[in-house]
Structure 1
């Protein structure tokens, strides 16, 4: 630890944290591709609103078409692949520029920021906002990912702030 400065540690921490979220993205992708039926079933129940509390005032929101379920699920998978690739590229670029000047290191954050923003879109907008507020997902006893998504957002948002901050010297 004697040769490691705080500035270097901050830079390494950004690379390591981006590697963590990249690893998470890889696991999510693997799960979606290796167990498509289970994850598709989840999406189908949420979109159909068939396990939420009966509320006739919002029942019109349900999407019951299996074709649309598959298309929406593939959109989510595509977004997850894109954010994972961006996060992996971001990790790589940060690592490559770890010993460069502060401005160069800061410019290497582009893919990380893009990846984190797309991940925030998936877990906050798609799951927490649309899933909970539009499809009433939080009232489902069996198919509710509100808390799971919130835990991911609770990691992503501070990470995005930390990555964007230009504290390196």
Structure 2
């Protein structure tokens, strides 16, 4: 059905716009989220007697490397999703097999976003660096919203097309 395909394109385009906007915001307002990375990696706002503090990274160079890795992953996610949206749009009226083949970049973009927001923020930040212990520098709820949205879009996009 054409309207379903159109909604799939719109949802992918919206997720691409989101990831690219997050990337742009992190570049324009670099210091705000750099502080987030610094506090998370240094573990300076976790529980005072936290036995995991030996994992802390206190080197500013490593904070910058970590932050640039996040920005690069956000950009790669957004670009892959944008390419996916473009390819889906180009195949809107094509046979089902062609439309299905155009989904490849959507899968890649969602995979990258999932690795970033689940792997990076939940696994590495949340558990390895005990971000969950911080009342101020805890990005787990936001990351959850991001990767769940991406997964929902992927599930919908991957539904068979006529």
Task: State the TM-score, normalizing by the size of structure 2.
Answer: 0.97
Q: For 1:155-166, what aligned pairs fall within 5 Å after superposition?
A: 155-165=149-159
> What residue in structure 2 maps to residue 168 of structure 1?
161
Equivalent residue for 2:80, pick from 86, 90, 93:
86
Segments of 5+ residues of structure 1 without an aligned counterpart are 1-6
**Are 1:63 and 2:66 matched, yes or no?**
no
Partner of 1:51: helix, strand, or coil?
Answer: coil
Match for residue 13 of structure 2? Answer: 19
Partner of 1:135: 129
Return the alpha-carbon distance in structure 2 between the equivalents of residues 155 and 66 of structure 1: 32
Is contact 1:113-1:163 (8 Å) kept?
no
Q: How does 1:1-169 map to 2 (within 5 A)?
A: 7-165=1-159, 167-169=160-162
Higher mean C-alpha displacement, 156-165 vs 68-77:
156-165
Following superposition, the deviation at residue 114 of structure 1 comes to 0.3
How many residues are treated as equivalent by the alignment?
162
Structure 1: distance between partners of 2:50 and 2:72: 33
Q: Tell me which structure has the larger Cα radius of gyration.
A: 1
Q: Secondary structure at the match of 2:12?
A: helix
1:4 is matched with none
> Is contact 1:87–1:111 with CA below 8 Å preserved after alignment?
yes
Unpaired runs of 5+ residues, structure 2, are none
The alpha carbon displacement at 1:122 in A equals 0.7
Does the residue aligned with 2:44 lie in a helix, a strand or coil?
A: coil
User: How much does 1:164 deviate?
Assistant: 2.3
* Alpha carbons 1:25, 1:84 under 8 Å: kept: yes
CA distance in 2, matches of 1:148, 1:10: 28
Q: Deviation at 1:56? A: 4.0
